[in-house]
Amino acid sequence: MKENPESIEILIVRHLRGESDENEIRELMEWVSLNEENRLAFLEWMEVWGKTAIAGPDFEIKQKAAWSRILSEVETERVVTKTRKGINLSGLLRIAAAVILTAGITWLANQQFQKTTPYKEELTTVYTPKGSRTHVVLPDSSEAWLNAGTTLKYNASFSPKSRKVYLDGEAYFHVTEDQKRIFEVATSDVTVRVYGTTFNIKSYKEEGVIETTLIEGEISLAKNSDEPLRKQRQVYLEPNQKATFIKKEGRIALAGIVKENSKASDQILKSGNILIFNEVDGDKISSWKTGQLVIETESLIDLSTKLARKYDVDFIFENDAIKKFKFSGILEDESLEQVMFAMQLTAPIIYRIEGKRVYLDALPGSMDNQ
């Protein structure tokens, strides 16, 4: 816990600029929750941050520049007059006002140029080969971790009105909040709209379902449609809920504990085609981003799909009956050979690896009575 007032000031400014890491966020939240005085001080900082947005809808870059100057002031001037547990709010307001004026003039000067220079979408494509994972920092400082066999497309600068990415595969997103520009993840059948949050989405084109798991924050899902957003039926998720879109049926199944009177609960009561299951474990579902693979009573046919991506191989079944065998466990740094050997010990199967192909068959005599 940072007790030094200047350290707390720096921590708050970094948070407001969207630059805090997980440890800094946790440390700041602990400080805010210590007492009412800290909470009110934090709210005043947030209010000042909001004031820097009055210059126009495209002011995000100017906000960051403004707060860079404020951060510099906090670090170098060490102003003596303090309020709210040592935070120099009066000095901060003066700095913010000056920055708003300067940045506001700059914004106004750029408007005519922007009107005559139409926004052009030029997509950047990131592909993660099988057997690997990729970490991507997006233009708005949001982060995406891409699982094996995943393609992510996005504009190098995002548009002035929206932030949209296109996903084929599996990704874990940590999205920077931006009240003026919604963040959207477009998949083959579903679009996920994000309101500053952390979530996992799996949407491989060769699979029959699209799964979205909310870790924290809030997101909504809607089936892709040409209708205006206001007319689309959206499903809202709460933390530890998973929504599954079944492609063949064109419907969404929602898994998770639903609180009474919540948005998610209301949506479930209205749609008749949403199913409720037990609460999901978001950490297990997204464990792949740290190299871990959690397997919970998974059929061999489904498991082989995940292993194929993880180890960059193809599985060939020489006996269809073994596809229904189920497995559980946790894989971390094991080699493909180690994994297959362990599976062979727990189920009546045999395997052989030839290059990038894994052949699976039933143990001779094991299926005679089936």
* Cα 93 from Cα 70, distance rounded (Å): 10
Same fold across 123-281 and 292-362: no
pLDDT at 278: 36
Mean per-residue pLDDT, 299-328: 93
312 Cβ partners below 8 Å, 6+ apart?
129, 130, 131, 148, 356
123-281 CATH fold: Jelly Rolls (2.60.120)
211-260 pLDDT per residue, tens: 899 999 988 888 887 776 666 677 888 888 888 888 877 766 655 444 43
The string over 101-140, giving b where at least 16 C-beta atoms fall within 10 Å of a residue's C-beta and e elsewhere, is: eebbeebeeeeeeeeeeeeeeeeeebebebeebbebebeb
Mean pLDDT of the chain: 75
50-65 pLDDT per residue, tens: 544 434 444 445 455 5
pLDDT at 221: 85
Confidence grade of residue 120 (pLDDT, cut at 50, 70, 90): low
pLDDT at 309: 92
* Residue 58, token pair as written in the block: 């495209």
The CATH classification number of 292-362 equals 3.55.50.30
Query: Regarding predicted confidence, which is higher, 112 or 276?
Result: 112
* Whether pLDDT at 156 is above 60: yes
* Whether pLDDT at 86 is above 70: no
Query: Regarding predicted confidence, which is higher, 237 or 46?
Result: 237
pLDDT at 268: 35
Going from N- to C-terminal start, the domains of the chain cover: 5-116, 123-281, 292-362
* Whether pLDDT at 339 is above 50: yes
Confidence grade of residue 30 (pLDDT, cut at 50, 70, 90): confident
Query: Regarding predicted confidence, which is higher, 248 or 145?
Result: 145
* Whether pLDDT at 174 is above 70: yes
